[in-house]
C-alpha cells in the first residue's frame, strides 16, 4: 500500500464506480462510502484508490453478511439462541404466510359480522395444551414476567418472595432480580443458594407479600447438598396464608409440552400442565424454546388471573402481532393433533440410523475433494438455556482438509452463499446432521465443495 500526504481523497463517484455491484441497496453503499471517506479526511496520509476501495469492500461485505439470512446449523444445538432459536415447520410457515399476505379475521367475528376477540382460538388451544383454565400470550417470556410482576405488585403489596437459588441470569443479560426491581417489585430473598425450605418461605410472608415466584433452573443445574420445597407444598402455603390467597407464579423458561425423558439422552423437564397440576396459580414460558414455535411468552393458569392480566394497560404494549399469533396457533394445533409439523420435535426424534444413511450418502458425494470425510459422533444439545445437563447422542459428518486448518475451513464454510456453521473438536470440523434439515443436504455439499477447493 502506497501512502502519500499529498494524494487527494478519491471522490464518492469514483469509489462507487470501482466498487461495482455490491448486492446492497445504493443508499446504504453511498452512506458507507461517505463515512469511510470522512474517516480518511482525518488522516495524515491517504492510501491509494485501490487500498481505499479494498477497505470499503471489506466494510460492505461485513454489512452485507450482517443482513438476516438463513444459515445451516451444523452445531447440533437445536434451540440455538444466536441462530434464532426454534425454526418453524413448513405447515406453520404456510399458515403464517396466508395470514401475512391477506386480510384476516384478527379481531373480527365472522359469525357476528362485527369486532371480535383477538387470539381467542389460540388462547383456548393453549389452555387445553397446558391443562389450564385459561391462557394468553405476549411478546416473549421476559414480557410475560414483567406483565405479571407489574400487575400483582402494588404500592403497599409489592414483595416478591423468591429463593436465593433461583435469582438467575438468563441469556442476553436478563437477570431475574433486575427484572423484579424494574417492575416495581421488592425482592424478598429466602433460603440460601443451595438450600431453601418451606419454613424459609413461610417466615417472610406478610401483608406486603404480592406473590411467590419460582424460577425453573432452566439453564444450569446444581448438584450435591441441594434442596428446595416441592411445588405442591409452596402452593399449599400460598393458598392458606392469612386467609388471603397469595399468587404463586412459576417461570418455567422452556415450556416442554411432552415428556422430554422419552427422548434418549434427555432428562425430564417439567411441563406447564404438570406445574399447574401441582397448584401453581400461573405459569409462564417461551414460545420459541422447546415448544418449537415463534418468539412468544405464554401465560397459563387461573381464569380470573389471566383475565386480569389481559386488562392491564401494559398488556396492550406487549401483545403479539398477527404473524406470531398465526404461527403460534398453527404450532399449538400441531401439538393438539399429534405433534407432526413441529421442527424441533422432529429433530429430537430422528434416529441415528436415519442420520447415518444421510451421512454416508453425503460422504460418498464428497469423493474427489482435497479432504477426508467420515461419519463421526457428537453430543447434540437442546440449547437455548434448556436441559443443560442433557446430551443427545448424535451423528456428524467429520471433515479434515488436506491443507486448510479446521478454523480456516470453518471460516470458509461461513462465507458461503448459504453459510454453514459446524464446530471443531480434536482437530476435526464436525457437522451434526441432527440440526441440518434433510432438504439442506444438497446445500451442505455445495458449501463444502466451494469451501474446500482452493
Interface with ligand PLP (CB under 6 A): 140-142, 170, 174, 215-216, 218-219, 251, 253-254, 286, 297, 385
Shorter beta-carbon distance to ligand PLP: residue 75 or 286: 286
Shorter beta-carbon distance to ligand PLP: residue 175 or 239: 175
Q: What is the DSSP letter of 338?
A: T
First to last CA, the chain: 25
What minimum distance in Å lies between the beta carbon of 321 and ligand PLP? Answer: 16
Shorter beta-carbon distance to ligand PLP: residue 140 or 440: 140
Which of 353, 363, 378 lies closest to 432 in space, CA to CA? 378
Q: Which residue is nearest to ligand PLP (CB)?
A: 253
Shorter beta-carbon distance to ligand PLP: residue 216 or 430: 216
Strands 159-163 and 209-215: parallel
What minimum distance in Å lies between the beta carbon of 202 and ligand PLP? Answer: 24
What minimum distance in Å lies between the beta carbon of 174 and ligand PLP? Answer: 6
Please give the distance of CA 402 from its chain centroid, rounded to a whole number.
Answer: 36
Which of 209, 221, 218 lies closest to 284 in space, CA to CA? 218
Which stretches within 160-267 are classed as H helix? 176-182, 198-204, 231-240
What minimum distance in Å lies between the beta carbon of 297 and ligand PLP? Answer: 5
What minimum distance in Å lies between the beta carbon of 161 and ligand PLP? Answer: 17
Element (H, E) at 271: none
Shorter beta-carbon distance to ligand PLP: residue 163 or 396: 163
Element (H, E) at 3: strand 3-4
CA triple 164-155-235, angle to 5 deg: 45
Shorter beta-carbon distance to ligand PLP: residue 159 or 166: 166
Shorter beta-carbon distance to ligand PLP: residue 15 or 129: 129
CA distance 165 to 215: 9
What minimum distance in Å lies between the beta carbon of 372 and ligand PLP? Answer: 39
Which of 304, 392, 401 lies closest to 348 in space, CA to CA? 392
Which stretches within 131-197 are classed as H helix? 141-152, 176-182
Shorter beta-carbon distance to ligand PLP: residue 293 or 378: 293
CA distance 143 to 440: 34
For 120, counting Cβ atoms within 10 Å of its Cβ (0-12 exposed, 13-18 middle, 19+ buried), the class is exposed
Residues 137 and 296 sit within 8 Å (Cβ to Cβ): yes
What minimum distance in Å lies between the beta carbon of 40 and ligand PLP? Answer: 42
* Number of residues assigned to the chain: 454
What minimum distance in Å lies between the beta carbon of 224 and ligand PLP? Answer: 22
Shorter beta-carbon distance to ligand PLP: residue 33 or 325: 325
Q: Is 212 helix (H, G, I), strand (E, B) or coil?
A: strand
What minimum distance in Å lies between the beta carbon of 218 and ligand PLP? Answer: 4
Residue 301 pairs with which residues in a beta bridge? Answer: 134, 282
Shorter beta-carbon distance to ligand PLP: residue 169 or 197: 169
Q: Is 143 helix (H, G, I), strand (E, B) or coil?
A: helix
What minimum distance in Å lies between the beta carbon of 179 and ligand PLP? Answer: 9
Q: Is the dihedral of CA 124, 129, 131, 135 positive or negative?
A: negative
Amino acid at each position: 500500500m502506497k501512502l502519500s500526504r499529498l494524494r487527494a481523497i478519491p471522490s464518492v463517484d469514483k469509489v462507487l464506480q470501482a466498487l461495482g455491484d455490491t448486492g446492497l441497496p445504493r443508499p446504504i453503499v453511498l452512506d458507507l462510502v461517505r463515512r469511510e471517506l470522512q474517516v480518511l479526511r482525518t488522516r495524515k496520509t491517504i492510501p491509494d484508490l485501490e487500498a481505499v476501495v479494498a477497505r470499503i469492500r471489506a466494510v460492505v461485505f461485513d454489512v452485507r453478511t450482517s443482513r438476516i439470512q438463513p444459515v445451516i446449523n451444523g452445531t447440533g444445538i437445536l434451540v440455538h439462541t444466536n441462530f434464532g432459536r426454534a425454526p418453524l415447520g413448513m405447515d406453520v410457515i404456510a399458515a403464517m404466510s396466508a395470514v401475512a399476505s391477506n386480510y384476516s379475521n384478527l379481531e373480527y367475528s365472522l359469525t357476528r359480522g362485527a369486532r371480535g376477540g383477538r387470539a381467542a382460538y389460540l388462547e383456548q388451544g393453549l389452555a387445553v395444551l397446558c391443562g389450564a383454565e385459561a391462557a394468553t400470550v405476549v411478546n416473549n417470556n421476559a414480557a410475560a414476567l414483567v406483565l405479571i410482576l407489574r400487575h400483582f405488585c402494588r404500592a403497599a403489596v409489592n414483595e416478591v418472595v423468591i429463593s436465593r437459588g433461583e435469582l438467575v441470569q438468563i441469556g442476553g443479560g436478563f437477570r431475574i432480580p433486575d427484572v423484579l426491581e424494574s417492575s416495581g417489585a421488592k425482592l424478598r430473598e429466602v433460603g440460601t443458594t443451595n438450600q431453601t425450605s418451606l419454613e424459609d418461605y413461610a417466615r417472610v410472608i406478610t401483608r406486603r407479600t404480592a406473590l411467590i415466584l419460582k424460577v425453573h433452573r432452566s439453564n444450569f443445574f446444581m448438584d450435591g447438598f441441594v434442596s428446595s420445597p416441592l411445588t405442591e407444598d409452596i402452593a399449599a402455603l400460598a393458598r392458606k396464608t392469612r386467609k388471603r390467597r397469595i399468587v404463586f407464579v412459576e417461570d418455567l423458561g422452556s415450556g416442554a409440552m411432552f415428556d422430554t425423558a422419552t427422548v434418549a439422552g434427555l432428562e425430564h423437564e417439567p411441563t406447564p400442565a404438570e406445574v399447574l397440576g401441582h397448584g401453581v396459580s400461573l405459569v409462564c414460558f417461551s414460545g420459541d424454546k422447546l415448544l418449537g414455535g415463534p418468539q412468544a411468552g405464554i401465560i397459563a393458569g387461573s381464569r380470573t388471573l389471566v383475565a386480569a392480566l389481559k386488562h392491564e394497560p401494559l398488556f396492550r404494549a406487549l401483545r403479539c402481532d398477527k404473524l406470531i399469533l398465526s404461527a403460534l396457533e398453527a404450532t399449538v394445533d400441531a401439538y393438539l393433533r399429534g405433534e407432526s409439523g413441529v421442527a424441533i420435535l422432529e429433530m429430537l426424534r430422528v434416529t441415528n440410523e436415519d442420520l447415518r444413511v444421510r451421512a454416508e450418502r453425503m460422504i460418498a458425494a464428497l469423493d474427489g475433494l482435497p479432504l477426508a470425510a467420515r461419519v463421526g459422533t457428537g453430543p447434540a444439545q437442546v440449547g437455548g438455556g434448556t436441559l443443560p445437563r442433557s446430551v443427545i447422542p448424535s451423528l456428524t459428518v467429520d471433515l479434515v482438509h488436506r491443507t486448510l486448518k479446521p478454523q480456516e475451513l470453518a471460516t470458509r464454510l461461513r462465507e458461503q452463499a448459504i453459510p454453514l456453521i459446524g464446530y471443531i473438536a480434536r482437530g476435526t470440523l464436525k457437522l451434526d446432521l441432527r440440526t441440518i434439515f434433510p432438504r439442506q443436504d444438497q446445500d451442505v455439499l455445495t458449501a463444502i465443495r466451494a469451501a474446500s477447493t482452493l
